[in-house]
Amino acid sequence: MSNPNEKKVPEPAARGQSLWQVAGSVLASMFGVQSSKKHEQDFAKGRPWVYIVVGLVATIVFILTVWFLVQMALKSAGA
């Protein structure tokens, strides 16, 4: 029997997902390699606003990376 005065600590599965798990899910979905199991887990445990924010940040980083690479290629080509 458990002690009624004992505080219950939520199990890791019940707490949701860490920022790294969300980022991994967003990156996997950007490349189209997200598994069905992980997709269902994201919908069951994740908060939509976290995915939206991480997705927007990942998109901005991607766009800036492509822009930077194009600028470097143009610079090295002498344009």
43-57 pLDDT, tens digit per residue, is 888 888 999 999 999
More confident call, 75 vs 7: 75
- Using DSSP's 3-state secondary structure scheme, residue 14 falls into helix
State the DSSP string of 17-77.
--HHHHHHHHHHHHHT---HHHHHHHHHH--HHHHHHHHHHHHHHHHHHHHHHHHHHHHHH
pLDDT at 76: 93
Closest CA to 61 of 53, 32, 7: 53
Using a pLDDT cut of 70, give the percent of the chain over it: 80
The yes-or-no verdict on residue 79 having pLDDT over 50 is yes
Average pLDDT, stretch 3-32? 73
Contacts of 46 by beta carbon, 8 Å cutoff, 6+ apart: 16, 17, 22, 25
The model carries a pTM of 0.68
